[in-house]
Amino acid sequence: MTAPTLSSFCERSPAFALPAPPPAHGGYCGKKSSRGFTLLEIMIALSLTAMLLTMLTAGMYGVIRDWDNNAEGLENSLDETVALLQLERALQGAFPHSFRDPDTLARQVFFVGEPDSLSWVSTVSPQRAPGLTAWRLYDEPGTGVFLQLAPALSDNPLQRLEDAEPRLLLADYSLEFNYLFEDLEFARRWRDTWDGGELLALPMAVHIVLQPTARNARNDELDIVASVRAVEHRNLTPNTGLLQ
């Protein structure tokens, strides 16, 4: 009887089963094999990236353009608002500035109101200069509303106003003036002219209509109604008989 060998004993005993040898390639059966991207996949990825960048660029350009348009519109609106406030303050501060006519030696009040222009003296000055300031407001067709300023001094400031450098106040607008007065029956009425030299007084209020021109059709009509605080000169009697 031959004695059992170690190998035959291991074959009959599962507890002593030898482990299986490792795979020849040294890895595990469940491991995925690694590989690179194909040329087609790279081209598709680059195309999608280019489309995304194009969409982002177009969106950012639209946002920047809208921002610039809104900023420009706001700036123009602020400029118009500041101009209207200045005009209203200057008209409220209108002063019955009197001077002596060198030909007749008679006292006159400086206030020249026409349907499309107005010259007056005000206590308000844009530069905050001391003393009274003469204002002249008029429009030029196809350009806009212009403003001229000059010191009033003690004489007739009309010539200094005409020689002053005009400033474009509101582009692409035209002007229309009306002047409020009270007749002999104490009824308040509007007229389109006012000659302070003859009437020796200022109107009770000034109505300015700023109409946009054809090139400025996107804007609305602007209105200013400014009440004049100092209507009469303390040393002059108004010619109320002419206010009919």
Task: Evaluate whether residue 217 is within a structural domain.
Answer: yes
| Buried-state track 165-182, b at ≥16 Cβ within 10 A, e below 16 | ebeebbebbbbebbbbbe
Task: Evaluate whether residue 100 is within a structural domain.
Answer: yes
Contact (CB, 8 A) for 229 and 93: yes
Task: Evaluate whether residue 41 is within a structural domain.
Answer: no
Count of the separate structural domains present in the chain: 1
Q: What is the pLDDT of residues 34-48, one digit of tens each?
A: 566 787 878 888 888
- Work out the mean pLDDT of the chain and round it to a whole number: 80
Amino acid at site 95: F
CA nearest to 206, candidates 77, 114, 108, 129: 114
Q: Which domain holds residue 219?
A: 85-242
Task: Evaluate whether residue 228 is within a structural domain.
Answer: yes
Does the pLDDT of residue 69 top 70, yes or no?
no
The reported pLDDT for the residue numbered 79 is: 67
Task: Evaluate whether residue 107 is within a structural domain.
Answer: yes
Tell which wins on pLDDT, 237 or 191. Answer: 191
Does the pLDDT of residue 128 top 80, yes or no?
no
Question: Tokens 């004993």 label which residue?
Answer: 9
Task: Evaluate whether residue 200 is within a structural domain.
Answer: yes
Tell which wins on pLDDT, 80 or 113. Answer: 113
Over pLDDT 90: what percentage of the chain?
Answer: 40
Does the pLDDT of residue 181 top 60, yes or no?
yes
Task: Evaluate whether residue 69 is within a structural domain.
Answer: no
Tell which wins on pLDDT, 32 or 182. Answer: 182
Please, which residues bridge with residue 176 across strands?
A: 209
Mapped to the 3 state alphabet, what secondary structure does 47-67 carry? HHHHHHHHHHHHHHHHHHHHH
Which of 18-32, 70-84, 146-160, 193-207 shows the lowest mean pLDDT across its residues? 18-32
Task: Evaluate whether residue 223 is within a structural domain.
Answer: yes
CA 107 to CA 187: how far, in whole Å? 28
